[in-house]
Structures are given as C-alpha cells and as structure tokens.
Structure 1
C-alpha cells in the first residue's frame, strides 16, 4: 500500500514549475541572441555569411509567382519558361547551401 501512495505522489509532482519554464525561456533567448550586435538581426547576419541563399530563394519565389500569373493569363509558353527558370533557381539555391556548408565546415 505504501508503494502505491509513493507512486501516486511522484506522478502528481510536476517535472517543472512555472518559474523553471520562465528561466528556461530566458536562457534560450539569451543563447540565441549571443554573438549578435544590438542592431544586427539574425537574417542580416546569415545574409552576410552566405548572400547567395536568400538571393536564390527570392529568384525561386519570383519565377514561381510570375509563372503562375502567366499561366492564369493564358500565356503558356512564358509560363513554361518561368517554371524552368524556377527549377534552375532552386538548383542555384541548393548549390549555394552546399557550398556554404562546406565553407563553414572547413573554417
């Protein structure tokens, strides 16, 4: 009987208190912001490290949007060209990611 009382009291006890969660969240936020200047955002920092990835993402999105717009206007040839450009932009983005990973691993 004593084992059941002990097990039930252990199960009712929360693993973390509310204050522990607040402290954990503050620790995570401070670790995330460490190494960044006060005015420098994470996007700007990553863009400076490897500018070709966001450029490739932007080109991919632009080609997709313009290709879909051309398709709705009935311009099938232009739409097809834009979809091919989208694939090329995606390939460029993947190549930029891989080069960035290799560059980061070497330094």
Structure 2
C-alpha cells in the first residue's frame, strides 16, 4: 500500500513580486534603505583587505600597461606578475572575510 503525500497547502498564495517567506530566515540583517555609499563603507569596515587588494590590482595593471606603452617590456612583465599576486591576495581576503562572517553568524 503506497501512501500519497498530503498536498502542500501554503498559508498564503505564491506572490511573484514579493520574496518568499521562509520561517527563521531573514534575507538581510540590515535595513532595506541602505544606500550604495553606506553599504560600501560597511563592507569596507567588515573586510578592509578586499578594497586594498582591488586597489593594488588596479595600480599594478595601470602601471604595467604604462610601462608596456613606453617600451619597457621587463618592467611591464614584472607588473603583470605583480597584478596576478594582487588578484590572489584579493581572492584570499574575500575567502577569509567569508569564513570570518560565517563564524560570527554562528556565535
């Protein structure tokens, strides 16, 4: 004898224009009225190494392109390698920030 599962009877009909309501889940811990500038400042304070890595990557790229334009292939190559290192630093900073925020949310 196979039993059929009970049909799902949601309390409210699905509304595509609204986010789903999930018990115990808050889509954001911060207010919905947070501006771009406020969010940028908050994220920078939470993990200041990511913007530094982005700035380092951009600086190495721009200087490397400048050296390439001026005909300095050795310095250009060095700056492209520096750019790769800065990108790696940025990715590690993002992963460390994610791990730290995960630990903070559990506590």
TMscore range, shorter length: 0.5 to 0.7
Match of 2:81 among 84, 99, 102: 84
TM-score normalised per structure 2: 0.65
Bigger CA radius of gyration: 1
Question: Do structure 1's residue 100 and structure 2's residue 93 form an aligned pair?
Answer: no
In structure 1, the gaps of 5 or more residues are 1-20, 25-30
Aligned residue-pair number: 80
Matches of 1:42 and 1:32 in 2, distance apart?
Answer: 12
Q: CA deviation at 1:37?
A: 7.9
Matches of 1:68 and 1:89 in 2, distance apart?
Answer: 16
Is the 1:52–1:96 Cα contact (8 Å) retained in structure 2?
yes
In structure 2, the gaps of 5 or more residues are 1-16, 19-27
Q: CA deviation at 1:33?
A: 6.7
1:52 alignment partner in structure 2: 49
Is the 1:36–1:42 Cα contact (8 Å) retained in structure 2?
no
TM-score normalised per structure 1: 0.65
Per-residue CA deviation, residues 50-104 of structure 1 (Å, 9 max, x unaligned), is 0000000000011001000100100001100100000000000000000001001
Question: Do structure 1's residue 75 and structure 2's residue 42 form an aligned pair?
Answer: no
Aligned residues: CA RMSD: 2.6
Hey, which bits of structure 1, 4+ residues long, moved more than 3 A?
Answer: 35-38
